[in-house]
Amino acid sequence: MTITHNLGFPRIGAKRELKFSLENFWKGQEAAESLLTTGRELRQRHWRQQSVLDRVPVGDFSLYDQVLDMSMTLGHVPERAARLGGSELDTYFRVARGRSAGDSNGVAAGEMTKWFDTNYHYIVPEFTADTDFELNPERLLTQLEEAKAASVRAKPVIIGPVTYLSLGKAKDDSDPLQLLERLLPAYSALLDQLVAAGADWVQIDEPVLVTDLDERWQDALRTAYATLGQSTARLLLTTYFGRLGDNLPLACELPVAGLHLDTTQSRVEADDAIARLPDDRVLSLGVVDGRNIWKADLGDRLDWLEPLHHRLGDRLWLAPSCSLLHVPVDVTNERKLDPEIRSWLSFALQKLEELRVLARALNEGRESVGTELAENAQAIDSRRQSDRVRQPSVRDAVANITPALGQRQSPYAERAKKQSAFLKLPDYPTTTIGSFPQTKDIRQTRLKFRKGELDEGTYLNLMRENIAYAVTEQEKLGLDVLVHGEAERNDMVEYFGEQLDGYAFSQFGWVQSYGSRCVKPPILYGDITRPRAMTVDWIRYAQSLTRQPLKGMLTGPVTILNWSFVRDDQPRSDTCYQIALAIREEVLDLEKAGVRIIQIDEAALREGLPLRRSDWQTYLDWAVTAFRIAANGVQDETQIHTHMCYSEFNDIIESIADMDADVITIETSRSDMELLDAFDHFQYPNEIGPGVYDIHSPNTPSEDHIVELMAKAAERIPRERLWINPDCGLKTRQWEEVRPALANMVNAAKQLRQD
């Protein structure tokens, strides 16, 4: 019998119940007991929903983050938070969210970073040479107890020791791997306790195996599993988010009871693993995509799996490729979604059903699930053949892309002269990144319009008032290049998705980003076209109000791609090129409307980097090509800006330069301009606006501080190529904070111009 199981289930709740409960609890409007009840109820519900499977994960539920949970389980909490005492829940949220300095118990939150190449963020464990671990298995044991009481066929889930160490950061110069020896006894004890509590299989996640591992990390895995392999627990060593590649032999040699592989990128690895694994090992294959929302082609899966099942028999298990944390819960809630498109989709619950059908077909023959398979085949066919998915003209356009399309008329040095003659900007020009405060008023106006409570005319007028306000304020402040302020935009990707054909939107397609924060990625299902201009009227209106140059504001193709659920029936690069062609049309329309400075944001370019270094260049090549296609159709006098709000450029600087934007604005204030070293060493040739203040903080940067920062910048980049701007957009700030900050920024520029 082929066994089905799941690696993890979305915990936020189909209607985001956990989010609301958490936020009420944080506001003091809900008692701890009530939050814990919400958690318990969600677990019970989710276990019931997963009961179509043979084994159900337990311990994957988290009130905030699964890595923080693991830190708590290992008794490893930053000293600054542990010291303050209080309940365990207090400590937990103290690490997760911090407490403001104004509070007598002020404490900084744990750092957050991206979970592998997903958009989920975890709380980074903090290590020092003295870090100690002390097992605290209560959470897992309680949940296991709950599961047993509910007759759940439970499989506890934990993060493996080597992945855990790799996720953390040393706060001194120590080497986290030195902690392995101290960590393993805690893991051994945990496994013993889980077995004593009735567990047989334990899922131990080591996604670090899909990343580049040097010998030390490979040895760490050998050491760890030499110890943990002695436990009476049957360990399912679980990898996900990609191919094992050169780590495959290692993964197969570790002394565990089973191995889980993500096969979405490579089916060959399943064969390799079968050839290498001793024949008492279970091989669990991730056969439905746990990170995307398309129905799996079950016929195709069965054609592939049937021979494997023949060879492996009971040793073959089936699962999603990774935890379903990264997809929404239930597509049947999507009543407003076009029924044809909905029929192509599969959220978490539907993916479990796919697994059930696959296993039944393997165990009892395809006839036993004939109806389900026929329905699936029909949906797959409908998607493949729908003329809503394929637009011949778009496909032709992508096929006909030539390097010339991404080429500016002249090299930067020549363009710069023309731009400076045309735009007549002073030295150290000042500008902002695009958005101005999204006041309650603005958000309510947009919401009312969405709900149909405001007619279009009234809505347009109200938005124009906001734009006019932002423009006037910027003029009063004396900024050089103005923006319209983005009042009409809910989100920098959704706003464009809504206006492009080829996109659909869910109502409840929420995915956890971190803690209670969720995102609802738009669904890119078809070839992309731009039926009409998307931003031109707004920008033209803003420009009509001022004689200062106004900067048009767009989101770039790579960012739109990376923040959407995208189609799996063509390479990501092709989808990206399609978006790029649509944005290019918008750029050219803006130029035609007299907008001669255009910013194309690529906030998500870096986060799209593949996990393996060897895949980086391919990604960067097509990503940069896409940007160039979007940006570079303009005349020399038109100035292209791009913006990236992060601070790691060292390893991608060559590609950034290759984008050939006339001006790039980046986040630098927190790194004290040191990040400009990367640009300096590379002799980055174009203009740079290094952010001079952190927009995440309500503090007003002083004029002197800005002057100081820019002086440091000028040591690295010639002053004629420097701009002055904040780190990122100002939408989360208040006007009361923005005004003095920008006033200081403008004064700093004046001071610098006199030097």
Binding-site residues, in ranges, read 16-19, 114, 119, 433-435, 486, 517-518, 563, 601, 607, 643, 645, 658, 667, 728
- Three-state SS at 257: coil
Binding partner of residue 480 among ligand GLN, Zn ion, none, CB cut-off 5 to 8 Å per kind: none
Binding partner of residue 584 among ligand GLN, Zn ion, none, CB cut-off 5 to 8 Å per kind: none
Which position's Cβ is nearest ligand GLN? 729
Burial of 299 (0-12, 13-18, 19+ CB in 10 A): middle
Active site residue 310: no
Identity (one letter) of the amino acid at 69? D
Which of 519-554 are b and which e, b meaning 16 or more Cβ less than 10 Å from the residue's Cβ? bbbbbbbbbbbbeebbbbebbbbbbebeebbbbbbb
Calpha distance 249→4 (Å, rounded):
25
Find how far residue 126's CA is from the centre of its chain. Answer: 22
Cβ neighbour number for residue 613 with a 10 Å cutoff = 11
Instruction: By CB under 6 A, name the binding residues for ligand GLN.
Output: 433-435, 486, 492, 553, 601, 603, 643, 645, 728-729, 731
Binding partner of residue 435 among ligand GLN, Zn ion, none, CB cut-off 5 to 8 Å per kind: ligand GLN
Calpha distance 309→316 (Å, rounded):
6
- Per CB under 5 A, does 554 bind Zn ion? no
Binding residues for L-methionine, as ranges, are 433-435, 486, 601
Cβ at position 189, least distance to Zn ion in Å: 45
Cβ at position 488, least distance to ligand GLN in Å: 12
DSSP 8-state symbol, 530: -
User: Which residues within the stretch 636-665 sit at the binding site for Zn ion (CB under 5 A)?
Assistant: 645
Query: Total binding residues for Zn ion by CB under 5 A?
Result: 2
- Per CB under 5 A, does 728 bind Zn ion? yes
Q: Which is nearer to ligand GLN, 584 or 733 (CB)?
A: 733
Q: Which is nearer to ligand GLN, 309 or 484 (CB)?
A: 484
Burial of 328 (0-12, 13-18, 19+ CB in 10 A): buried
Q: Which is nearer to ligand GLN, 636 or 727 (CB)?
A: 727
Binding residues for Zn(2+), as ranges, are 643, 645, 658, 667, 728
Binding partner of residue 334 among Zn ion, ligand GLN, none, CB cut-off 5 to 8 Å per kind: none
Cβ at position 497, least distance to ligand GLN in Å: 15
C-alpha closest to that of 373 among 383, 362, 387, 384: 362
Find how far residue 574's CA is from the centre of its chain. Answer: 20
Binding partner of residue 289 among ligand GLN, Zn ion, none, CB cut-off 5 to 8 Å per kind: none
Q: Which is nearer to Zn ion, 179 or 558 (CB)?
A: 558
Q: Give, in degrees to the nearest 5, the angle at Cα 176 between 174 and 180.
A: 130
Calpha distance 291→90 (Å, rounded):
32
Phi, psi torsion values for 13, nearest 5 degrees: 100, 145
Calpha distance 4→547 (Å, rounded):
66
- Per CB under 5 A, does 558 bind Zn ion? no
Cβ at position 539, least distance to ligand GLN in Å: 13
Which of 109-127 are b and which e, b meaning 16 or more Cβ less than 10 Å from the residue's Cβ? bbebeebbbbbbbbbbbbb
Calpha distance 74→500 (Å, rounded):
48
Q: Which is nearer to ligand GLN, 553 or 722 (CB)?
A: 553
Cβ at position 239, least distance to Zn ion in Å: 33
Burial of 682 (0-12, 13-18, 19+ CB in 10 A): middle
Binding partner of residue 497 among Zn ion, ligand GLN, none, CB cut-off 5 to 8 Å per kind: none
CA distances from 135 to 127, 140, 154, 715 (A): 16, 11, 21, 51
Cβ at position 559, least distance to ligand GLN in Å: 8
If phi > 0 it is left, if psi is from -120 to 50 it is alpha, else beta; for residue 151 that is left
Q: Which two tokens stand for residue 474?
A: 């910027």
Calpha distance 237→216 (Å, rounded):
19
The maximal CA–CA distance of the chain, rounded, in angstroms, is 83
Q: Which is nearer to Zn ion, 18 or 742 (CB)?
A: 742
Cβ at position 33, least distance to Zn ion in Å: 40
Q: Which is nearer to ligand GLN, 526 or 552 (CB)?
A: 552
Q: Which of 309, 310, 696, 705 is catalytic?
A: 696
Q: Which is nearer to Zn ion, 645 or 746 (CB)?
A: 645
Cβ at position 694, least distance to ligand GLN in Å: 14
Binding residues for L-homocysteine, as ranges, are 433-435, 486, 601
Alpha-carbon radius of gyration of the chain: 27
DSSP for 575-616, please give it: HHHHHHHHHHHHHHHHHHTT--EEEEE-TTTGGG--SSGGGH
> Which residues in this chain contact Zn ion in the complex, by CB under 5 A?
645, 728
Catalytic residue positions, numbered:
696
